[in-house]
Amino acid sequence: MRRYFLKKISIYLLTFWVAVTIDWGIPRLMPGNPLQVFLLKFRAQPDAAKYLQAYFYKAFGFNEPLWKQYLYYWDGIFHWNLGVSMFYYPTPVATVIGQHIFYTMGLLVPAIICAYFVGNRLGAMAARRKVLDNSILPASYLISGTPYQWFAMLLAFFLGALWHLLPESNAFAFGTTPVWTWTFIGNFLEHWILPFLSLFFIMLGGWAIGMRNLIIYELESDYAHWLQMLGSPARLVRRYAYRNAVLPQLTGLALALGTFVAGQIVTEIVFNYQGVGLLFFNAITNSDIFLMQGAFLLVIIGVLVANFVIDIVYVLVDPRTRVSMMGAEG
């Protein structure tokens, strides 16, 4: 058991190192000079601009040799100091991300979890009844095959712009500031519904299709046949099948939750929702390399933590992994 986890942890550390190195290198390989975009903000006189450029060149550490910049970056990670955002200058990257991540989390975590549970249930129901299979399955293929941005824009257009049922833009009304009052929370929830629904429906189909196929496979397995031979009620057979079929789905759930920190760029652009996705988008379009690095780092940590958690959960829920682990040890 200990050897298993030590092995796992060293693999995760190695992955983290490689990923962070790539995260540090890629923005620096982008064409163009990030300072150029940054200096546009100051609209200074030509000679003042030259001075500013020299100042910020040093301030952002571009004058140091690359290996030093790389080491500084690692040092920053350990102190949770991700540098200063160029686009939101002079706010530090960590603060900028902190301001946006709440909106992304509030939107994606409920959407992923609701879609997971409802989708699995629907899929399991489809697997056992022909009528449901003939309705749920095509519907699932339809919604999971729909281009997301188109579906989201339809929702925004009809429910928002045309019928004015729900606000279709921003995380809260213009002119309000985020405070813990009931009025604001109500306002926030109202803005939350449309992007939530768009994500929920798009993810639902995939879970339902996956679960249906897994359950059908389980119902055709030998243990299911034996239970039926011995006259077990369908309820018991289904319970066994569901519990076994849900295991591969758990991996999918962990990965979906792990990548949520990257935000759902398209959702946040369509609904102009100020989450990490929109932030990411702004960072890329404005060549803000520090913000990019920070957002990537968040994704790296999210995916690794989610995978690690699923490794542990699997050991708890699936005896097969435990046995193979003992085998590796023995």
- Least distance from C-beta 24 to other proteins, angstroms? 43
| Contact status: 47 vs other proteins (CB under 8 A) | no
| Contact status: 129 vs other proteins (CB under 8 A) | no
- Least distance from C-beta 316 to other proteins, angstroms? 12
What is the dihedral angle through the alpha carbons of 243, 244, 246, 250, rounded to the nearest 10 degrees?
A: 120
| Contact status: 1 vs other proteins (CB under 8 A) | no
Q: Which amino acid is at 82?
A: L
| Contact status: 312 vs other proteins (CB under 8 A) | no
* Binding residue for other proteins, selected from 91, 146, 244, 259, defined by CB under 8 A: 244
| Contact status: 320 vs other proteins (CB under 8 A) | yes
| Contact status: 231 vs other proteins (CB under 8 A) | yes
CA distance 141 to 261: 27
Counting other chains too, the contacts that 276-285 makes at CB distance below 8 Å and 24 or more residues apart are 276/97, 276/100, 276/101, 276/103, 276/104, 277/104, 278/100, 279/96, 279/97, 279/100, 282/87, 283/85, 283/87
Judged by CB, which is closer to other proteins: 55, or 223? 223
Judged by CB, which is closer to other proteins: 181, or 221? 221
Judged by CB, which is closer to other proteins: 145, or 319? 319
CA distance 174 to 169: 10
**DSSP states along 83-132:** -B-STTTTSBHHHHHHHHHHHHHHHHHHHHHHHHHHHHHHHHHHHH-HHH
| Part of the chain binding other proteins (CB under 8 A), chosen from 195-203, 209-217, 228-236, 300-308 | 228-236
Q: How many residues bind other proteins (CB under 8 A)?
A: 21
Distance set, CA 310 to CA 4, 253, 306, 318 (Å) = 14, 9, 6, 11
| Part of the chain binding other proteins (CB under 8 A), chosen from 46-54, 118-126, 218-226, 250-258 | 218-226
* Binding residue for other proteins, selected from 223, 248, 285, 309, defined by CB under 8 A: 223
**Token output for 100:** 């946006």
Judged by CB, which is closer to other proteins: 203, or 214? 214
| Contact status: 323 vs other proteins (CB under 8 A) | yes
* Binding residue for other proteins, selected from 226, 248, 285, 312, defined by CB under 8 A: 226
Counting other chains too, the contacts that 55-61 makes at CB distance below 8 Å and 24 or more residues apart are 60/35, 60/84, 60/86, 60/290
Judged by CB, which is closer to other proteins: 58, or 239? 239
| Part of the chain binding other proteins (CB under 8 A), chosen from 142-150, 186-194, 240-248, 299-307 | 240-248
| Contact status: 41 vs other proteins (CB under 8 A) | no
Quote the Cα angle for 139-141-145, to 5°.
120
* Binding residue for other proteins, selected from 184, 200, 240, 314, defined by CB under 8 A: 240
The residues that touch other proteins, with contacts defined as CB under 8 A, are 221-223, 225-233, 236, 240, 243-244, 247, 318-320, 323
